[in-house]
Amino acid sequence: MSKTCNEVKIGLEGACIQHVEATCLCLDCSENEDCILCPEHGCPKYPLIPEPEKWSYNFSEDGLWDNEVFETGEEAYEAGKDAALEDGYEVFYIGQLVPITIPQNYVMVTDEVLRQVSQYLDDEYGSEFEHGERWYEKITEDEKLTLDEMLNNALQAWLEKTHNHPKTLMVTDIDEYCRTDGTWIKEPQE
């Protein structure tokens, strides 16, 4: 069973989404000629976001870093230097690529959720009796922590089920290289 580019978003390399536990980077395959599907499941294959310790180069410190990915900073430096010379740039940057993740303990909205329930009780059943406020005041800190944990688990399960993990990278440990008198010099970090 084959799928068309309009039916799935896929990239050109990576692992079957059924077998991936890491965050995936999904590319819109409308820009690609071929859709690659997992032969075992017939599901799209997504390129994985590089693990930490992958590197790239760019001609701007900010913005989209969409150049080739390398195993080491030295490889990214050499490729960046060659590309800068070829394209006439006097400055280039190398940086480490790190997947953006939502941490397990991210959700800290328990008090907000409980206040909304309290407000609903007052709105629905009359605030003159302070149903919501009296209900809210009976909730202990331990019970709030339990709800925090439950909400975090629900968020993580939802991210896994829907594959809605962030699909982008953060660039860290950025080094700037400037060409001076034909030599590339690493600028000191501020």
State pLDDT tens for residues 54-69.
899 999 988 888 899 9
Over range 3-19, report the average pLDDT. 31
Residue 151 domain flag: yes
Residue 183 domain flag: no
Boundaries of domain holding 127: 110-162
pTM: 0.52
Q: Who's near 126: CB < 8 A, 6+ residues apart? A: none
Residue 79 domain flag: no
Residue 75 domain flag: no
**pLDDT surpassing 70 at residue 6:** no
Structural domain total, the chain = 2
Sign of CA dihedral 7, 11, 15, 17: negative
